[in-house]
Structure 1
Amino acid sequence: MVSPPGVGPGPTDRGATGAPKRVARRPGRPAGPDHRASALAILVGSVEPVVTVVAPPGYGKSALLSAWVKRRGLPVAWVACDQIDDDPRTLWRTVAALLGCPDPALRSGTPAPGDVIRVVDRLARALGARGAGTIVLDRVETVSGECLRSVVAFADAAPAGWRIALASRHRLPLPVARMRLAHRLVEIGTAELSLSAAEAQRLLADPALHLSERRAAELVRDAEGWPAALSLGALAVRSGEVTARRPFTGTTRLMGDYLRSEVLDALSDAERRFLDRTSIVDRVNGPLADSVVGGTGSARTIETLLGRNVMLPAAGEDDGEGWARCHPLVRQALSTELVSVSPELVPVLHRRAAQWLESHGEPERAVDHAYQAMDAEWFGRLVLEAMQPAWARGRIDLVLRWLGQLGSLSPETHTPALVAHGALVFALVGRPGDAERWAAVAESLAPPAAPSPDGTIEGALAYLRASLGSGGPASMRRDAADALHHLPPASPYRAEMIQTEGLADLLDGDLAAADAAFVHAYDVAVSVPAVPWAALALAEQFEVAVGQDDWTAAEALAKRSLEVVRRGPLQAYWTSALPFACAARAAARRGDMDEAREHAQRAAQLRPLLTYALPVVSVQVLLELARVYLALVDPAGASAVLEQARGILHQRPALGTLVTAARQLDERVGQITAARPVGASSLTAAELRLVPLLSTYLTYPEIGEQLFISRHTVKTHASSVYRKLGASSRREAVERIVELGLA
Structure 2
Amino acid sequence: MVGEGWVAHIPSATYGPPRLGGAVVARPAITELLSASDAGLVVVTAPAGYGKTTAVALWDHSDARPFAWVRLDHLDNDPAHLLLHLVTAVDQVAAVDAATFQYLRGAGRAVETQLVPASIAALESAGQIVLVLDDIHELTHDAAVSALRALVQLAPASTTLTLIGRSAPPLDLARRRLEGRVLEIGTEQLKLSAAEAESALDSVGAPVGPSAALVIERCEGWAAGVVMAGMALRDGAPTDVITGRHRMVADYLVEEVLGRLNPEIGTFLIESAVLDHFTAEDLNSVLQRGDSADMLNAIHASGNLFLVALDEQGIEYRYHRLFADLLRERLRNRDPARFRDVASRAAAHLERAGDIDGALVHALAADDLARAAALVERDAVRLGFDGRAGILERRLSLLDEHVFAHHPDAAIARAWFGLTLGDADLIQRSLLLAAAADRGAALADGAPSVKVAAALVSSLVGIGGVLEVVRHADTVCAAGDHLVNPWWGAAASVKGGALSMAGDSENARATLESSLPVLDDLPGFRAVALAHLALLDLDDGALQSAARRSAQARGIVDSRDLCDLVPMVLVYAVDGLVRGHRGDVAGARDAVRGAERLLDRLGDLAARTAALGHALTAATALEIDDPELWRRHVDAGLLAARREPDAAAVHQRLARVRELLAAHAQRGPRPSLTAAELRLLPHLATHLSLQKIAGELHLGRETVKSQATAIYRKLSVSSRAEAVAEAARLGLLDLP
TM-score of Structure 1 vs Structure 2, range by shorter chain: 0.5 to 0.7
Residue aligning to 2:321 = 328
Residue aligning to 2:433 = 441
Residue aligning to 2:140 = 144
Relative to 1, partners in 2 of residues 1:478 and 1:179: Cα closer, same or farther, differing over 3 Å?
farther
157, 162, 167: which one aligns with 2:164: 167
Cα distance between partner residues in 1 of 2:77 and 2:66: 25
Tell me by how many angstroms 1:130 deviates. Answer: 7.9
Residue aligning to 1:77 = 68
Residue aligning to 2:58 = 67
Tell me whether 554-563 or 167-176 shows the greater mean CA deviation: 554-563
Tell me whether 388-397 or 273-282 shows the greater mean CA deviation: 388-397
Tell me by how many angstroms 1:32 deviates. Answer: 5.6
**Residues 383, 392 of structure 2: 8 Å contact kept:** yes
Cα distance between partner residues in 1 of 2:249 and 2:96: 47
Residue aligning to 1:687 = none
**Residues 427, 614 of structure 1: 8 Å contact kept:** no
Relative to 1, partners in 2 of residues 1:57 and 1:646: Cα closer, same or farther, differing over 3 Å?
farther
> What secondary structure does 1:85 align onto?
helix
> Counterpart amino acid of 2:308?
P
**In terms of Rg, which structure is larger?**
2
* Deviation per residue, 1:446-488 (Å, 9 max, x gap): 589xxxx995233212112123233443332332232133266
174, 179, 183: which one aligns with 1:182: 179
Tell me whether 594-603 or 324-333 shows the greater mean CA deviation: 594-603
Residue aligning to 2:256 = 262
**Residues 467, 646 of structure 2: 8 Å contact kept:** no
The answer to whether residue 225 in structure 2 is matched with residue 229 in structure 1 is yes
Relative to 1, partners in 2 of residues 1:285 and 1:507: Cα closer, same or farther, differing over 3 Å?
same
Relative to 1, partners in 2 of residues 1:105 and 1:472: Cα closer, same or farther, differing over 3 Å?
farther
Tell me by how many angstroms 1:641 deviates. Answer: 11
Equivalences for 1:235-250 in 2 at 5 Å?
A: 235-240=231-236, 242-243=237-238, 247-250=241-244
**Residues 507, 657 of structure 1: 8 Å contact kept:** yes
Tell me by how many angstroms 1:370 deviates. Answer: 3.6
Residue aligning to 2:476 = 483
> Counterpart amino acid of 1:138?
D
> Counterpart amino acid of 1:298?
S
Tell me by how many angstroms 1:441 deviates. Answer: 1.9
* Deviation per residue, 1:16-67 (Å, 9 max, x gap): 7749799988x99997653555444544555554443332222222222233
Equivalences for 1:61-460 in 2 at 5 Å?
A: 61-82=52-73, 85-87=76-78, 88-94=82-88, 96-97=90-91, 100=94, 109-110=103-104, 115-116=111-112, 133-146=129-142, 147-151=144-148, 154=151, 163-170=160-167, 173=170, 179-195=176-192, 200=197, 204=201, 209=206, 213=210, 215-240=211-236, 242-243=237-238, 247-290=241-284, 292-293=286-287, 295-307=289-301, 308-313=303-308, 315=310, 322-358=315-351, 364-385=357-378, 387=380, 396=389, 399-400=392-393, 402-404=395-397, 406-409=399-402, 413-415=406-408, 418-428=410-420, 431-446=423-438, 455-460=448-453
Tell me by how many angstroms 1:590 deviates. Answer: 9.2
Equivalences for 1:536-685 in 2 at 5 Å?
A: none
**Residues 40, 68 of structure 1: 8 Å contact kept:** yes
Relative to 1, partners in 2 of residues 1:17 and 1:433: Cα closer, same or farther, differing over 3 Å?
same
Tell me by how many angstroms 1:572 deviates. Answer: 7.5
Relative to 1, partners in 2 of residues 1:570 and 1:99: Cα closer, same or farther, differing over 3 Å?
farther
**Residues 499, 521 of structure 1: 8 Å contact kept:** yes
Relative to 1, partners in 2 of residues 1:342 and 1:158: Cα closer, same or farther, differing over 3 Å?
same
Equivalences for 1:691-730 in 2 at 5 Å?
A: none
Query: Unaligned regions of 5+ residues in structure 2, if any?
Result: 1-6, 441-445, 666-736
Cα distance between partner residues in 1 of 2:207 and 2:141: 50
Cα distance between partner residues in 2 of 1:645 and 1:152: 88
Tell me by how many angstroms 1:423 deviates. Answer: 0.9
Q: Identity over aligned residues, as a percent?
A: 24
Residue aligning to 1:696 = none
Residue aligning to 2:457 = 464
Paired positions, count? 642
Residue aligning to 1:501 = 495
Cα distance between partner residues in 2 of 1:74 and 1:464: 78
42, 53, 60: which one aligns with 2:44: 53
Cα distance between partner residues in 1 of 2:127 and 2:594: 67
**Residues 15, 89 of structure 2: 8 Å contact kept:** no
Relative to 1, partners in 2 of residues 1:314 and 1:20: Cα closer, same or farther, differing over 3 Å?
closer
Relative to 1, partners in 2 of residues 1:125 and 1:321: Cα closer, same or farther, differing over 3 Å?
same
Relative to 1, partners in 2 of residues 1:23 and 1:567: Cα closer, same or farther, differing over 3 Å?
same
**Residues 30, 63 of structure 1: 8 Å contact kept:** no
> What secondary structure does 1:409 align onto?
helix
Cα distance between partner residues in 2 of 1:569 and 1:177: 53
Give the TM-score taking structure 2 as reference length.
0.67
Tell me whether 587-596 or 173-182 shows the greater mean CA deviation: 587-596
* Deviation per residue, 1:376-402 (Å, 9 max, x gap): 444444443354566689775654454
Tell me by how many angstroms 1:327 deviates. Answer: 2.9
**Residues 476, 501 of structure 1: 8 Å contact kept:** yes
Tell me whether 381-390 or 511-520 shows the greater mean CA deviation: 511-520
Tell me whether 118-127 or 247-256 shows the greater mean CA deviation: 118-127
> What secondary structure does 2:76 align onto?
coil
> Counterpart amino acid of 1:426?
G
* Deviation per residue, 1:656-691 (Å, 9 max, x gap): 7678889969x99xx99xxxxxxxxxxxxxxxxxxx
Tell me by how many angstroms 1:438 deviates. Answer: 0.2
> Counterpart amino acid of 1:268?
N
**Residues 53, 164 of structure 2: 8 Å contact kept:** yes
Cα distance between partner residues in 2 of 1:121 and 1:641: 98
Cα distance between partner residues in 2 of 1:207 and 1:650: 70
Cα distance between partner residues in 2 of 1:646 and 1:273: 70
